[in-house]
Amino acid sequence: MSIESPDPKVIVALDFPDPGDALSFARRLSPGSCRLKVGFELFVSGGPALVESLQEAGFEVFLDLKFHDIPNTVASACRAAARQGVWMMNVHASGGRRMLEAAREAVNSEIHRPLLIAVTVLTSMDAGDLAELGYQGEVSALAESLAGLARDGGLDGVVCSAQEAPLLRARSGPGFLLVTPGIRPASAAGDDQRRVMTPADAMRSGASYLVVGRPVTRAEDPVAALEEINADVRAALQSP
């Protein structure tokens, strides 16, 4: 039996190409056991109507569109997302201070104010990938720098690897949100994520929320898979 929570820590990534399939899958889950993430592909195919359908089913939605453009354009996009009533949304921290501040001011101006977080370094990237882009430092150093930029810009938190979570938690304190993708139960494959961690280890490392996709969406029994992850999270939160 699943245990409901007023603040579910797991965000299930609805990485489906078809809106109907995504909505059908979501209805197998309970809003008290998770939030849901809508990313590029699903939003392009399903649009705001899909987000509204998920909300009508009782779910809070993380709109994962990673806005990255000139400040005015990003501000306009953030206002539009806020008006959809989403729970959380994100931008790229690498867009710079002016863009981050414009995004913050945009969501602050709306009646419904979603959580606003910034992407630091994608969990699919490692030091070799960054070197190809001209960055010679460690991944953790870049993530720390971008997280500091987001924090100073007044955002609620960042998307980061759970491997960087202890450092960012120490730097940013308890109130700054750390949303960690690349979460895989010990029995699951890593897929295309390179910087991954188990649910319990991620929570112990300082994560606020965990983004989980294929270990739930491709499981034979998604409800049982989600409950196993939630059990790991509860155990981690209850441990000293």
Tens digit of pLDDT for each residue in 103-114?
Answer: 999 999 999 999
pLDDT (tens digit, 9 = 90+) per residue, 9-25?
A: 999 999 999 999 999 99
The domain in which residue 121 lies consists of 10-238
φ, ψ for residue 167, nearest 5 deg: -65, -45
37 is in an annotated binding site: yes
Give me the pLDDT at residue 177, please.
Answer: 98
Annotated binding residue 176:
no
Is residue 169, in this structure, part of any structural domain at all?
yes
Q: Is residue 69 in a domain?
A: yes
Residue 3 lies in a domain: no
Q: How many domains does the chain have?
A: 1
CATH code, domain with 219: 3.20.20.70
Would you say residue 140 lies in a domain? yes
Tell me, what's the pLDDT at 178? 97
Helix-then-strand count for the chain, H and E = 10, 8
- H or E segment and range at residue 225: helix 222-238
pLDDT at position 24 is 97
| 71 annotated as belonging to a binding site for a ligand | yes
> Domain for residue 148, yes or no?
yes
> Which are the contacts of 230, defined by CB distance < 8 A and separation ≥ 6?
2, 3, 5, 8, 9, 10, 33, 34
Region of residue 105 (left: phi > 0; alpha: psi -120 to 50; beta: else)? alpha
Answer whether 115's CB lies under 8 Å from 143's CB. no
Contact 145, 121 (CB under 8 A): no
Q: Is it the case that residue 193 has pLDDT exceeding 80?
A: no
Q: Catalytic positions, please?
A: 64, 66, 69
pLDDT band at 146 (very low <50, low <70, confident <90, very high): very high
Is 4 a member of any domain?
Answer: no
**pLDDT higher than threshold 80 for residue 154:** yes
Query: For residue 165, which of 185, 154, 179, 149 has the smallest C-alpha distance?
Result: 179
Question: Global pTM?
Answer: 0.92
Q: Residue 100: what pLDDT?
A: 98
Give residue 185's pLDDT band: very low, low, confident or very high (50, 70, 90): confident
Phi-psi region of 134 (alpha: psi -120 to 50; beta: other; left: phi over 0): left
95 lies in a domain?
A: yes
> Minimum mean pLDDT among 17-21, 136-140, 147-151, 213-217: which range?
136-140
> Which residue, among 62, 77, 206, has the nearest Cα to 143 in the 3D structure?
206
Checking if the pLDDT of 1 tops 60, the result is: no
Residue 203 included in any domain:
yes
Residue type, 26: A
CA 139 – CA 164 distance, rounded (Å): 9
Confidence band of 196 (pLDDT split at 50, 70, 90) = low
15 marked among binding-site residues = yes
Q: For residue 9, say whether it is annotated as part of any ligand binding site.
A: no
Angle at 60 between CA 220 and CA 171, to 5 degrees: 100
Is the pLDDT reported for residue 195 higher than 60?
no
- Mean pLDDT on 71-94: 97
Mean pLDDT for the stretch of residues 223-233:
95
